[in-house]
Amino acid sequence: MATKVVMEALSPTMEEGRLVKWVKNEGDAVKTGDILAEVETDKAVMELVARADGVLRKRLANEGDSSPVGTLLGVIATADENIDALVGGGAAAPAPAAPAAPASAGGESTAPANEAVAETKDTAGATAVPDAPAQAQGEASTPPQEKAQATAQAAPPRPAAAPPRPAARPPQQGNGARPAAGTQSGGRQRSSPLARRLASERGIELGKIQGSGPGGRVIKRDIESAVSGAGGRSAARSAAAERLAAEGDFRDVPLTQIRKTIAKRLAESNGPIPTFFLTAELDVTRAAEMREQLAEMGDEYKASFNDIIIKATALALAEHPAVNAHWLGDKIRQFNRIHVAMAVAVEEGLITPVLFDADRMQLWEISAMARELAGRARERKLTPEEYTGSTFSVSNLGMFGIDQFTAIINPPEAGILAVGGVEEKAVVIDGAVTVRKRMRVTMSCDHRVIDGATGAKFLQTLRRLIENPLSLVV
């Protein structure tokens, strides 16, 4: 029986994915669980696996193509099976969503959780093609994630996907100029947006760089290595002139899945959410001294200011449950568990891995977990369970020399804490001028959930914890 290979929902928020590369070629024998392709979701690069045994008879999507969830990407069948009925219509039409379960007066779905899961799975797959005994790969897609803030509900119907393009087209090269050298088959350059921007700023020709990222992709460190050995400004000017001749006055950079998601989520946040901001300056002199003492105990006890902030935030949230909450439209959900997301800058945008039950973790446990999650986030290796389910977020730009900023709330969370850098300042204490280490934090609050006094009391507690840091390690 032929099996459709469709674009699966590989993360809870994924609506479309970009096929990074095919791992299997047409005619290759595959078994259930074999990796067929690598797909870029809105958060990470993940593996699309086979859901049946057979031969990969047809690949209907090109590397670099973005496709909505449910789109037909290929067909697995036996070597002599007729698949004309499957491939003749192009992309698979996503199945219509099951009717939503009736909601109770409080807005909660009355349908059992497993029924809601079944509805979601149906919409992620593709409908069977008439007169052909085929099963849909999407029917065995990634299991649904248990998100703390999600209520059981059916997925909305998706429009039919467009038929696959016959061949990959190169990205637009500015003013109609010819494509630069060094592109992959089909004319598409394998490079991250950050690498392209840095290359443009520093006069480096991407086509001449050997990428060290996944699949030979050119990434930031490749550009930095090229700059260090470029041979001075004259080489950079020459490269810039060559680029101008090849590309014209400008180049359009295609949006990645993570950048599309960031744009959509921030538009949802900055417009509809009535946000106000509270800023406080904290004395972190004692916290700095504690960091030094912990480091003297051994590497396993080292902690950054960001680790200290996360721990203090988690303990403050335990004292102020009104802040550890989500806005759900018809109700406010206050959580009894504290899951703190930390913003991590990656080459193509931002991702927020989550420290679950952060209030119960020791400071050095937070430090170790934060380093591990940040490292895997930059490598795009996080699983959906590791970046969903947060109840509050922390964003720190202090390491970039930023004194103070305001962060945009990640809905449905009710708040986010923006952390600036540590600097020495002359302050007056008991009538005497002395130099102390200071840090500014700004809390963005959803006024539908958090009132001014509520947010101010939370920051008071945060100040008490950070300025008396022994409370974070006992």
Give residue 215's pLDDT band: very low, low, confident or very high (50, 70, 90): low
Neighbouring-strand partners of residue 6 = 72
Residues 250-272: tens digit of each pLDDT = 666 677 776 677 677 666 666 67
Residues 120-168: tens digit of each pLDDT = 333 333 333 333 444 545 443 333 334 334 433 444 444 444 444 444 4
Within 13 Å of residue 104, how many CA atoms lie on the same side as its CB?
A: 9
Give the rounded distance of the alpha carbon of 272 from its chain centre: 22
Which tokens in the block code for residue 289?
């001294």
CB 58 within 8 A of CB 75: yes
Whole-structure pTM value: 0.53
Residues 88-120: tens digit of each pLDDT = 754 444 444 444 443 333 344 333 333 333 333
CATH entry, 2-140, from 1.10.357.10, 2.40.50.100, 3.40.50.970, 2.10.109.10 = 2.40.50.100
The set of catalytic residues is 447
Which tokens in the block code for residue 261?
């998601």
Q: Where are the domains of the chain?
A: 2-140, 172-253, 258-472
Q: How many helices (H) and strands (E) does the chain have?
A: 11, 19
- Can you tell me the distance from the alpha carbon of 56 to that of 226, in angstroms, rounded to the nearest whole number? 39
Give residue 45's pLDDT band: very low, low, confident or very high (50, 70, 90): confident
- Can you tell me the distance from the alpha carbon of 332 to that of 388, in angstroms, rounded to the nearest whole number? 19
Q: What 8-state DSSP symbol labels residue 147?
A: -
Give residue 172's pLDDT band: very low, low, confident or very high (50, 70, 90): very low
- Kindly state which CATH superfamily the domain 258-472 is placed in: Chloramphenicol acetyltransferase-like domain (3.30.559.10)
